[in-house]
A and B are shown apart, each in its own frame.
Chain A
Amino acid sequence: MSNLASSAALAQASPSSAPSGHAIELVGVNKWYGEFHVLKDINLKVHRGERIVICGPSGSGKSTMIRCINRLEEHQQGTIIVDGIELTNDLKRIDEIRREVGMCFQHFNLFPHLTILENLTLAPIWVRKMPKKEADELAMHFLTKVKIPEQAHKYPGQLSGGQQQRVAIARALCMKPKILLFDEPTSALDPEMVKEVLETMVSLAEEGMTMLCVTHEMGFARQVANRVIFMDAGQIIEMNEPEPFFSNPQHERTRLFLSQILGH
């Protein structure tokens, strides 16, 4: 704990100094929606290259927590340090962090008025100032990686859900992020499309991408996660390696939750 406190103090003293040892650090993070206390004293350190799966009942704050990491939501108390940069209201820092943190959403959120290729090249061109030709090549590289290069000139509406989510992953990858956040990436998909998206995520995990993934795909958690987190009512209830987490959960609420989602 003292170690945690001192590193937080260090980061506060020189927030934009050289990256600390952790990819992400949340120290005493609290958040309220009006009266409602969504995040209660969240402490979490994510190592570089670590894969973390977050599960929990709906409304437990798991999405809110990862959305705080790239400032889609603002936290009111505590410290969030991403890649050595402390999140404050400073827009420049928020931009800096967002350039390094990719995100995939439950509903994909592709840009419907742009082709798949344009969806992928938009941020490299406008944010990274990459020449268009180079961005096109980069986009095709990642489209090939998610196995849909032939869809490059279609519009998102013409693709299946699974394909759209893979495009969304490729879009995030085109920014060459150091960290990827997944917010229930397979929840809006038909069952037969879940597999293709999970396969893509597994291959990313194997390449050593730092990943935080909110999901109820426990098979995925067992296969790739270094740690599994269970959240309930805005708190981290339990955090452990997958093997002990699933075979011997310490907390009653975790046991109940696992029996509910694994029971059928």
Chain B
Amino acid sequence: MNDFTTWDVFRNLLAAVPWTIYLSLIAFAGGAAVSLILLSLRFAFPRVAGRPVRLYVQVFQGTPLLMQLFLVYFGLALMGVQTTPLFAASLCLSVYSSAYLTETWYGCVLAVPKGQWEASSSLGLKHWQQMLLIVLPQALRLSVPPTVGLMVQIVKNTSLASIVGFVELTRASQIIANATFEPFLAYGAVALIYFVICFSISLCGRHLEKRIRI
């Protein structure tokens, strides 16, 4: 039997870090793209699109990400569609984050005071000009803290991809724990790495918040 040093454990874990980060980036980018489309629809056609968008958000916020992963990965396989763990994880995480981002960003737009709409109306600005020049820039500032919070959630949620066999941090730590018989070291180390990633994101967020505050 091989002896594993603590460094070996960390080295192997660190090798899996890029996958966690890739997956987080895909989930965030995909989620942001989808939610921007949904938000545009919701604001442009509130009567037609309001209900379906709300339903979408409710469905994906109200079901566990784990079930969504199972359904996509194993469900699609049952229907004869072969997926890869990466595809299934990316799809589910994107959809899941898009639900939260849509709701959060919608709230940020609504949080811009009504007086801003009234003042820009009274000046004769058109609706799209009000949105683009007055409301969205202010909503963007409001959205930084909750968006950073969601990014941290996304990073932690990527650990669920391990369930369908995608080798990211959590899956790597399981493999290492099984090989070294030192679960406390492996899982402790992986928790520390998650914390470092998430804490860095929070720090960046705080910095960004300070820079754009008026």
Contacts and interface: CB of A to CB of B under 8 A. Distances in A.
Contact of A105 (B119, B124, B137, B138): B119
A98 B130 CA distance: 14
Interface stretch (A46-54, A108-116, A225-233, A234-242): A108-116
Interface stretch (A121-129, A140-148, A191-199): A121-129
Nearest to B126: A95
Nearest to B136: A113
B78 interface: no
B121 interface: yes
B123 interface: yes
Interface in B103-155: 113, 115-116, 118-126, 129, 133-134, 137-138, 141
Interface in B165-214: 214
A112 B113 CA distance: 11
Interface in A135-182: 155, 157, 168, 171-172, 175, 181
A72 B118 contact: yes
A104 to B, nearest CB: 9
A107 interface: yes
A105 B122 CA distance: 10
A83 B13 CA distance: 73
Contacts of A155: 214
Contacts of B133: 122, 126
Contacts of A103: 119, 122
Contacts of A109: 113, 115-116, 118-119
Give the interface SS of chain B, mostly helix, strand, loop or mixed: helix
Contacts of A214: none
A70 to B, nearest CB: 6
Nearest to A107: B115
A216 interface: no
A126 B115 CA distance: 19
Interface residues of A, number: 27
Interface in B26-51: none
Nearest to A96: B124
Contacts of B116: 109, 111
A126 B129 contact: yes
Interface string A60-101: 000000000011100000000000000000000001001101
B138 A112 contact: yes
A98 B214 contact: no
Contacts of B134: 111
A98 B115 contact: no
Contacts of B138: 111-113
A102 interface: yes
A105 to B, nearest CB: 6
A116 to B, nearest CB: 12
A112 B140 CA distance: 13
A110 B115 CA distance: 9
A80 to B, nearest CB: 15
Nearest to B113: A109
Nearest to B114: A109
A175 B124 contact: yes
A172 B123 CA distance: 7
B141 A111 contact: no
Nearest to A113: B137
B118 A123 contact: no
Contacts of A157: 214
B122 A102 contact: yes
A126 B123 CA distance: 10
Contacts of B123: 98, 102, 122-123, 127, 171-172, 175
Contacts of B126: 95
CB-CB nearest 6 A-B residue pairs: A109-B119, A123-B123, A109-B115, A103-B122, A98-B124, A99-B124
Interface of A: 70-72, 95, 98-99, 101-103, 105, 107, 109-113, 122-123, 126-127, 155, 157, 168, 171-172, 175, 181
Interface of B: 113, 115-116, 118-126, 129, 133-134, 137-138, 141, 214
Given A98-B124, A105-B118, A126-B125, 16 more contacts: A71-B121, A72-B118, A98-B123, A102-B123, A105-B115, A105-B119, A109-B113, A109-B118, A122-B125, A126-B129, A126-B133, A127-B129, A157-B214, A171-B123, A172-B123, A181-B122
29 contacts: A70-B122, A72-B118, A95-B124, A95-B126, A98-B121, A98-B122, A98-B123, A98-B124, A102-B122, A102-B123, A103-B122, A105-B118, A111-B116, A111-B119, A111-B120, A111-B138, A113-B137, A113-B138, A113-B141, A113-B214, A122-B123, A122-B133, A126-B125, A126-B133, A127-B124, A127-B125, A127-B129, A171-B123, A175-B123
